Amino acid sequence: MQSCYNYAQTIIRQNVDDMMNIIVIFGLCFLKNESFLQRAIEEGADFIETDVLSSKDGVLICFHDVTLDDTTDIANHTGFANRKRTYEVQGINMTGFFPVDFTLKELKSLRVKQRYSFRDQQFNGKFQIITFEEFITIAQDAPRVVGIYPEIKNPVFINQQVKWSHGKRFEDKFVETLQKYGYKGSYLSKDWLRQPVFIQSFAPTSLVYISNKTDLPKIFLIDDVIVPTQDTNQSFWEITSDEYLDYIKQYVVGIGPWKDTVVPVVENYMTNPTNLVARAHAHNLQVHPYTYRNEFPFLHFNFSQDPYMEYDYWINKIGVDGLFTDFTGSLHRYQEWTSNHKDDDDKNLLHKIALLVSSYE
Ligand SMILES: *[C@@H]1O[C@H](CO)[C@@H](O)[C@H](O)[C@H]1NC(C)=O
Ligand SMILES: *[C@@H]1O[C@H](CO)[C@@H](O)[C@H](O)[C@H]1NC(C)=O
Ligand SMILES: *[C@@H]1O[C@H](CO)[C@@H](O)[C@H](O)[C@H]1NC(C)=O
Ligand SMILES: *[C@@H]1O[C@H](CO)[C@@H](O)[C@H](O)[C@H]1NC(C)=O
Ligand SMILES: *[C@@H]1O[C@H](CO)[C@@H](O)[C@H](O)[C@H]1NC(C)=O
């Protein structure tokens, strides 16, 4: 999933009993290493998100891109210069340095860096890639319940490149890792509430395959309209049809579409919303679009550069069940400022005003 750094995003789960109130914050516009994930947790994330890939020696790692080029200092490690490869990934020949050609030890010698020039660069070169297990530990060490939202990323490619013992697949290792750390149970079950997790993937066959291994809730990610599924080569139109939603709902609790396919955009202005959210809801599927960002290049003109307006639109007008944001703190503050305290609305408002005033004293 697109995220602002090479990994993490976070999710806020506002009220787990109310399906319409699950706010997925894919936060964290920085690095998905320990300190940044901890920062997202401090900013109010109830879930932290990561894409999961594999090293050459089969260790699951948290990393967004299929190559290391854009978000690590690999170019500065001249000893690795001969590792550059070209592989066909999801129908496209890509050239670069692929994590699947490096052992975990080698990957740990790299340092991550910011992708976007308009974001804070001061952390470049300071942090390592983390493993999926390290990521889980961060969530579990938090002082409150923090869920995780890991993605089975590029499973077709990973299974071609990495071989595990006993003929195990990437998906097997992924589920075994979750089970090792105690993740189990269906959506909203007691076990799930103790250690909440959503498993996400763009590959429907991976979601179907793991459904025999775990009843943990799964989310089917949906790419842009021009991108076919990596495993079944199905078009956007096919996988968003009523027939397909009817099929996939046996395996998943929701879908995660790219937001600009839900409300198409022309020249940075939003056009009319599609009926995807309504149709997903009619199939009892949640909708968690991705990825919301505060910055000018990502905020459509309709929102007057105001990310709160964007949240308000998607949560209250479009009625999404959750959303992924790169900016945990902003979504959390939006929620705090707009949360309904049905009993003492006025008192609460006065309290907020009093707080505001006192902060200027
Ligand atoms: C890589 O090396 C160049 C030249 O020595 C240096 O300017 C740059 O900061 C280094 N980049 C990283 C990410 O370490
Ligand atoms: C990728 O490159 C190989 C080798 O040059 C070629 O056979 C293949 O058709 C290319 N695939 C795509 C999708 O361009
Ligand atoms: C799941 O298990 C059932 C019953 O054992 C089997 O029929 C089915 O093929 C399995 N599905 C997958 C995707 O492995
Ligand atoms: C995927 O589907 C498209 C459209 O039906 C077709 O042109 C293409 O050859 C297919 N690709 C593969 C790898 O099967
Ligand atoms: C966004 O702004 C454009 C231009 O003013 C307008 O035509 C469009 O209806 C707006 N979209 C939404 C979803 O409000």
Which residues form ligand 4's pocket by a CB distance below 6 Å?
Answer: 228, 233
- Which residue has better confidence, 228 or 15? 228
In a domain, 2, yes or no: no
In a domain, 320, yes or no: yes
Ligand 1 atom at minimum distance from 124 CA: 13
What CATH number is given to the structural domain containing 213? 3.20.20.190
HEC secondary structure over 52-86:
EEECCCCCEEECCCCCCCCCECHHHCHHHHHHCEE
> What's the gap in Å between 209 CA and the centre of ligand 3?
8
In a domain, 166, yes or no: yes
Binding site membership of 95 for ligand 2 (Cβ less than 6 Å):
no
In a domain, 13, yes or no: no
pLDDT digits (tens, 9 = 90+) for 311-348: 999 999 999 988 888 888 888 888 888 876 444 455 55
Mutate which of 233, 235, 238 for ligand 4? The one with the most ligand atoms within 8 Å of its CB, which is: 233
In a domain, 3, yes or no: no
> What's the gap in Å between 194 CA and the centre of ligand 3?
28
In a domain, 6, yes or no: no
Minimal-distance CA residue to ligand 1 atom 7:
76
Q: Sign of torsion, CA 228 234 235 237?
A: negative
Specify the pTM: 0.87
Ligand 1 atom at minimum distance from 111 CA: 13
- Count: domains in the chain: 1
In a domain, 11, yes or no: no
Q: For residue 288, what are the CA distances in angstroms to 11, 101, 249, 250, 274?
A: 10, 33, 15, 18, 15
Measured CA to CA, the distance from residue 153 to residue 343 in angstroms comes to 44
Range of the structural domain that residue 38 is part of: 19-359
Task: Identify the nearest ligand to the CA of 313 by its number.
Answer: 5
In a domain, 8, yes or no: no
Binding site membership of 208 for ligand 3 (Cβ less than 6 Å):
yes
> What's the gap in Å between 228 CA and the centre of ligand 4?
9
* Structure tokens belonging to residue 213: 């291994």
pLDDT digits (tens, 9 = 90+) for 188-211: 899 998 999 999 999 999 999 999
Range in 212-216, 272-276, 354-358 the model is least confident about? 354-358
